[in-house]
Each structure stands twice: as structure tokens, then as C-alpha cells.
């Protein structure tokens, strides 16, 4: 299980436990965490599940592929070095904890 902390736009935090095989996006959506739209349901086709990953957690997560890289340029909120699409961040038992910040806007 992975401890996932979502830092919401208003600064408040929500901590959830994610199962291996679930993505950070799915965990948010299933638990009514606001600010992740996931319009395409995780198909890497909409860039509305954009998150900023805490820098020290970036290396723990699956590598970014070309499609995600292209899609991130199109996210509504500013793209930063720690930007990822949370639908591509699939959790595993190797990852004990991750913290992500939810951007101001997804659309």
C-alpha cells in the first residue's frame, strides 16, 4: 500500500492509502478528492489529471512516456519540472509514500 498525500489548491491536505495497480488519479476520483477532473478516465487523452509531484518523490514513480510528455504541454496550469499526469502514476508496493499538489485549474 502507498500513502498518498494530496495537497489541495486551498492548502489543505488529504491523505489516502492507495493499492498497487491503482493510479494516483483513480485514488483521488474514488475518494472524492477535488481538483482532478480526469475527463478521459485515465486514457492519457485529456491532460485534466495534472499534478505537481513533490520533488523528492519523482524518482519513485513510473517513467514518463512520449504521449504523456506531449499531453503535459497542453495542461491548463503551468507545466513545471515536477508535472505529471496522475492517470499515468500507477502505484506499486515499492512506493511507500507520495505527495502531490493539485494545480489551480485543469481546464
Footprint of another protein on this chain (CB under 8 A)? 21-23, 26, 29-32, 39-45, 47, 67, 70-71, 73-74
Query: Of 3 and 20, which CB lies nearer to another protein in the complex structure?
Result: 20
Query: Of 21 and 55, which CB lies nearer to another protein in the complex structure?
Result: 21
Query: Of 44 and 54, which CB lies nearer to another protein in the complex structure?
Result: 44
Least distance to another protein, CB of residue 47, Å: 6
| H or E element, residue 2 | strand 2-7
Least distance to another protein, CB of residue 70, Å: 4
Query: Of 51 and 75, which CB lies nearer to another protein in the complex structure?
Result: 75
Least distance to another protein, CB of residue 107, Å: 10
> How far is CA 39 from its chain centroid?
14
User: Which alpha helices (H) appear in 14-73, and where do they start and end?
Assistant: 24-30, 66-72
Taking residue 105's Cβ as centre, other Cβ atoms within 10 Å add up to 14
Query: What is the C-alpha to C-alpha distance for residues 45 and 22, in angstroms, rounded to an integer?
Result: 18
Supply 23's cell numbers: 493510479
Amino acid at each position: 500500500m502507498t500513502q498518498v498525500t494530496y495537497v489541495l489548491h486551498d492548502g489543505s491536505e488529504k491523505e489516502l492509502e492507495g493499492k498497487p495497480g491503482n493510479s494516483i488519479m483513480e485514488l483521488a476520483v474514488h475518494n472524492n478528492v477535488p481538483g482532478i477532473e480526469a475527463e478521459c478516465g485515465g486514457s492519457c487523452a485529456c491532460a485534466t489529471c495534472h499534478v505537481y509531484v513533490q520533488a523528492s518523490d519523482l524518482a519513485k514513480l513510473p517513467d514518463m512516456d512520449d504521449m504523456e510528455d506531449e499531453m503535459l504541454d497542453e495542461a491548463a496550469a503551468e507545466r513545471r519540472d515536477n508535472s505529471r499526469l496522475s492517470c499515468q502514476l500507477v502505484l506499486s508496493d515499492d512506493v511507500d509514500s507520495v505527495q502531490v499538489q493539485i494545480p489551480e485549474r485543469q481546464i
